Amino acid sequence: MSSMCRRTNPRSSRTGRPRSTEADTAILEATRAALVELGWSKLTMGDVAGRAGVAKTTLYRRWANKSELVVDAVAVLFDELELPDLGSLQADIEHVVLQFAALLERPETKTALMAVVAESTRDEPLRERIRASIVDRQKRLVLEGRMRAQRRGELPADRDPVAVDATDDLIFDVIAGAVVHRALVSAEPVDEPWVARLSALLVGGLGAAAAALG
């Protein structure tokens, strides 16, 4: 709290004209609109600036490039995912998978998600941004679902906390990966029959693992 605590958080610079938060939201909204209309590859910074009613230079003051801008624009959409208690592990999984599939059906996310991930393979800061803004935030769903199943007695209580973490990570990659692959790579519908099969596979697999350890 000294007078020079500044470089750590440039947003709290005490002096000068503050950044327009209206411009922030207008830009992110314009970015999502441009994604819907143009898709990732035809979206340009100049176009977004025009839609948002700001100068192109204003975009570059906030984001280094298109990828970082788009990550911020779509990240908020992923926070809409919820995990209501439907009474059984399988029902919970099916519900969240259908939500996730609906999210991936939206043209903004469909075109943007794979693109920024592809870009992040050669851009470490971007990878970190994606992890922090999107990936890690959704692991909460797996955590919550697993704990709920344990409370119900569908899954055994924790023994080795390291193994539990590893299993949570595995389930996350399996569910998210399978849905993304089905929707975007195989390009086939993530509908109730498919979701039911996936959920049954997971519940069966988790149950079998628990039985083997018990």
Residues at the interface with a copy of itself (CB under 8 A): 39-41, 107, 110-115, 117-122, 127, 130-131, 135, 166-167, 169-170, 172-174, 176-182, 184-188, 193-194, 197-198, 200-209, 212
List CB contacts of 155: < 8 A, sequence separation 6 or more.
89, 146, 149, 206, 207, 210
Least CB distance from residue 19 to a copy of itself, whole Å?
28
Residues at the interface with DNA (CB under 7 A): 10, 13-20, 23, 42, 44-47, 53-58, 60-62, 65-66
Binding partner at 13 among a copy of itself, DNA, none, C-beta below 5 to 8 Å by kind: DNA
Least CB distance from residue 77 to DNA, whole Å?
22
Alpha-carbon distance of 107 to 102, in angstroms, equals: 10
Check: CB of residue 13 under 8 Å from CB of residue 6.
yes
Check: CB of residue 127 under 8 Å from CB of residue 71.
no
State CA 187 to chain mean position distance.
20
Name the residue nearer to a copy of itself (CB basis): 48 or 54.
48
Joined together, the tokens standing for residue 144 give: 């919550």
Name the residue nearer to DNA (CB basis): 3 or 185.
3
With tokens 């938060």, the residue in question is 21
Name the residue nearer to DNA (CB basis): 125 or 177.
125
Name the residue nearer to DNA (CB basis): 42 or 197.
42
Binding partner at 159 among a copy of itself, DNA, none, C-beta below 5 to 8 Å by kind: none
Name the residue nearer to a copy of itself (CB basis): 82 or 191.
191
Alpha-carbon distance of 136 to 170, in angstroms, equals: 13
User: Angle CA(21)–CA(38)–CA(116) in degrees, nearest 5?
Assistant: 70
The dihedral sign for the CA sequence 62, 64, 66, 67: negative
Least CB distance from residue 12 to a copy of itself, whole Å?
30
Binding partner at 14 among a copy of itself, DNA, none, C-beta below 5 to 8 Å by kind: DNA
Least CB distance from residue 56 to DNA, whole Å?
6
Name the residue nearer to DNA (CB basis): 44 or 186.
44
Alpha-carbon distance of 28 to 25, in angstroms, equals: 5
